[in-house]
């Protein structure tokens, strides 16, 4: 057991002014702390007072990051009890700005950086991590951070933020969470010229050398730690799809930008269809953006349609894509591999409005990172074609959103069924208060991870994300729908994560993918594994 100053510098065990009189005597803390002993509740009150005093989102981010580095129990108590207030700071949209300015706000390293020069010794690098019982790894190479592009090593804020949500939303113990950034260089010239950039200044590693480093990294995770879940995060399209194909049948892994986004969007769509009263099989979806998020959503919707009895080809025919060059159709010879399953036989159309008029989609999904793309003519066209058009503006951070909640509702006379990727404030219209839904992946990936950990799933399958979507949608009440919500309030997120974890674990046992025997009370077992941030006595 650590003592004295060393204990105060251990964020997992530090209690700050909450150390009792006896603990202060027996652990060599007497005189190292102010004399007054405070409760955890009093410490939370102090944190919130200081947090709310900060003048900018970035200052709030820095303040909370410092708290996490100092006292993780207090940090997670604040986050869990005030998630709706705090999550936009520790994750989207503020984390995007934090990554952009990472080298300028850097205080203390968190996580592991693996560089191209570590080839041949990646396992040794991972063994420097002080916590051997890692259950979840979130890894990025920083090439496609949110909608902000290549941020190189500065992308570390993403895995750190994702893992904070694993703990806050699903109770994965912070000592079991490992954020990793693969610093393989950056093609962002501004970063490479920035004297405060924290990463290597070489251009990005490509080709066989990149693949070899990824192979060594994945093998090292399974050797050094007890078969952890590995979540790929914010890799560019050129790598995301092929890395998922390469490793999904060999280790427990998934790509949250593809599968997590697909699951949370499907859940929102299921909720929206409770409002329209029309089945999924009758929908036509048009996607603005044909990258990881869009294809991930389409694949998940196709899987759900097949579960309902529709054939694969007919299910894919329900999904149409518009990329930066126009409508994705079979006659185009410039399509990346991941777009080809959705390249239908049809006339080419150059822009969103013409595609809406020709295809008459009931669901419009923005995953383009193009701010304002759902302009007034677009929303009015959707509203003219459908009584209750479904509009999902999922790009984030907020500055990249295709439209705001207020625009969606005002331009549709409050008829649109809306969800966004970033948070928006409630909208007052005609005496009614509409609460926009944030289709945040935090609704899904923590619960999937918790379920996989509880049953020790050997693989993470697409089917798990389909059952996760249905479990999430089941948590939406009629009252939520009346307020405009397609997802439950974040205050209920831990209960949501339990429901998803149970569904995922049950599927793993049913499919023979679980390495742990099934307990009699699956939900009870899941809850028993969840970390609750309270101080424990050390004497």
Q: Give 331-387 pLDDT, tens digit per residue.
A: 999 999 999 999 999 999 999 999 999 999 999 999 999 999 999 999 999 999 999
- Per-residue model confidence (pLDDT) at position 476: 98
Long-range contacts of 369-374 (CB under 8 A, 24+ apart): 369/147, 369/289, 369/395, 369/400, 370/288, 370/289, 370/395, 370/400, 370/402, 371/395, 371/399, 371/400, 371/401, 371/402, 372/402, 372/403, 373/288, 373/402, 373/403, 374/288, 374/402, 374/403, 374/407, 374/408
pLDDT tops 90 at residue 396: no
pLDDT tops 90 at residue 307: yes
Question: How many CA atoms lie within 13 Å of 298's alpha carbon, on the beta-carbon side?
Answer: 33
Question: Are 2 and 10 contacting, i.e. CB atoms less than 8 angstroms apart?
Answer: yes
pLDDT (average), residues 513-525: 97
Provide the percentage of residues in the chain whose pLDDT is more than 70.
100
Answering whether pTM is above 0.85, one says yes
Long-range contacts of 519-527 (CB under 8 A, 24+ apart): 522/454, 523/498, 525/454, 526/450, 526/451, 526/454, 526/498, 526/501, 526/502, 527/498
Question: Are 445 and 260 contacting, i.e. CB atoms less than 8 angstroms apart?
Answer: yes
Show the CA angle centred on residue 178, arms to residues 174 and 179, nearest 5°.
115
Confidence at 215, pLDDT banded by 50, 70, 90: very high
Q: Could you confirm whether 91 is annotated as catalytic?
A: yes
Of 15, 61, 162, 247, which one is the catalytic site residue?
162
Of 91, 197, 247, 443, which one is the catalytic site residue?
91
- Per-residue model confidence (pLDDT) at position 379: 98
pLDDT tops 90 at residue 82: yes
By CB atoms closer than 10 A (0-12, 13-18, 19+), residue 276 is middle
- Per-residue model confidence (pLDDT) at position 48: 98
pLDDT (average), residues 405-424: 96
Provide the percentage of residues in the chain whose pLDDT is more than 90.
97
3-state secondary structure of 3: coil
- Per-residue model confidence (pLDDT) at position 430: 85
CB count, 10 Å around CB of 129? 15
pLDDT tops 90 at residue 397: no
Structural domains in the chain plus CATH codes:
4-89 (1.20.1370.30), 90-251 (3.40.50.10380), 259-442 (3.40.50.720)
- Per-residue model confidence (pLDDT) at position 351: 96
Alpha helices (H) in 386-444, listed in sequence order: 405-410
Report the alpha-carbon distance of residue 500 to residue 514 in Å, rounded.
Answer: 16
By CB atoms closer than 10 A (0-12, 13-18, 19+), residue 101 is middle
Q: Give 3-34 pLDDT, tens digit per residue.
A: 999 999 999 999 999 999 999 999 999 999 99
Mean pLDDT of the chain: 97
Q: Give 217-254 pLDDT, tens digit per residue.
A: 999 999 999 999 999 999 999 999 999 999 999 999 99
Confidence at 145, pLDDT banded by 50, 70, 90: very high
pLDDT tops 90 at residue 446: yes
Which residues lie below 8 Å from residue 284, measured CB to CB, with a gap of 6+?
318, 320, 359, 360, 361, 362, 363
Confidence at 127, pLDDT banded by 50, 70, 90: very high
Which residues lie below 8 Å from residue 100, measured CB to CB, with a gap of 6+?
148, 151, 154
Report the alpha-carbon distance of residue 525 to residue 202 in Å, rounded.
Answer: 48
Report the alpha-carbon distance of residue 369 to residue 372 in Å, rounded.
Answer: 9
């Amino acid at each position: 057991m650590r003592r004295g100053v060393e204990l105060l510098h251990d964020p997992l065990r530090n209690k700050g002014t909450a150390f009792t009189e006896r603990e202060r005597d027996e652990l060599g803390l007497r005189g190292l702390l102010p004399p007054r002993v405070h409760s955890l509740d009093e410490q939370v009150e102090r944190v919130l007072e200081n947090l709310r005093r900060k003048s900018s989102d970035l200052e709030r981010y820095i303040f909370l990051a410092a708290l996490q580095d100092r006292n993780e129990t207090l940090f997670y108590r604040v986050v869990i009890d005030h998630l709706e207030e705090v999550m936009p700071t520790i994750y989207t949209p503020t984390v995007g700005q934090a990554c952009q300015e990472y080298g300028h706000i850097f205080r203390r390293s968190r996580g592991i950086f693996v560089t191209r020069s570590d080839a041949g010794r990646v396992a040794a690098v991972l063994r420097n991590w002080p916590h051997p019982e890692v259950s979840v790894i979130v890894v990025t190479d920083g090439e496609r951070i949110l909608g902000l592009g290549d941020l190189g090593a500065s992308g570390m804020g993403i895995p750190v933020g994702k893992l904070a949500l694993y703990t806050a939303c699903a109770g994965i113990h912070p000592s079991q969470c490992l954020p990793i950034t693969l610093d393989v260089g950056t093609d962002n010239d501004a970063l490479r010229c920035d004297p405060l950039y924290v990463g290597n200044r070489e251009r990005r590693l490509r080709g066989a050398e990149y693949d070899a480093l990824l192979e060594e990294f994945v093998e090292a995770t399974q050797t050094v730690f007890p078969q952890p879940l590995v979540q790929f995060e914010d890799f560019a399209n050129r790598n995301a799809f092929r890395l998922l194909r390469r490793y999904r049948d060999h280790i427990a892994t998934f790509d949250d930008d593809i599968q997590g986004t697909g699951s949370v969007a499907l859940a929102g769509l299921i909720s929206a269809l409770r409002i329209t009263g029309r089945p999924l099989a009758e929908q036509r979806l048009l996607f603005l953006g044909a990258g990881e998020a869009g294809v991930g959503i389409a694949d998940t919707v196709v899987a759900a349609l097949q579960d309902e009895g529709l054939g694969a080809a007919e299910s894919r025919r329900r999904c149409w894509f518009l990329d930066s060059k126009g409508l994705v159709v079979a006659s185009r010879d410039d399509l990346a591999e991941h777009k080809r399953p959705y390249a239908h036989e049809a006339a080419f159309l150059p822009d969103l409005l013409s595609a809406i008029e020709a295809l008459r989609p009931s669901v419009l999904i923005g995953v383009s990172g193009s701010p304002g793309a759902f302009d007034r003519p677009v929303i009015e066209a959707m509203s003219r074609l459908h009584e209750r058009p479904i509009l999902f503006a999922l790009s984030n951070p907020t500055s990249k959103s295709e439209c705001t909640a207020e625009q969606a509702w005002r331009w549709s006379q409050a008829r649109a069924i809306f969800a966004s990727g970033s948070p928006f404030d409630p909208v007052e219209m005609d005496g009614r208060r509409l609460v926009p839904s944030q289709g945040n992946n935090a609704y899904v990936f923590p619960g999937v991870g918790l379920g996989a950990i509880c049953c020790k799933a050997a693989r993470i399958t697409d089917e798990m994300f389909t059952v996760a979507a249905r479990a999430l949608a089941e948590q939406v009440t009629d009252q939520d729908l009346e307020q405009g919500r397609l997802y439950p309030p974040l205050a209920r997120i831990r209960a949501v994560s339990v429901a998803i974890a149970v569904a995922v674990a049950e599927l793993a046992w049913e499919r023979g993918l679980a390495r742990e025997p099934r307990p009699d009370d699956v939900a009870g077992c899941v809850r028993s594994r969840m970390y609750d941030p309270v101080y424990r006595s050390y004497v």
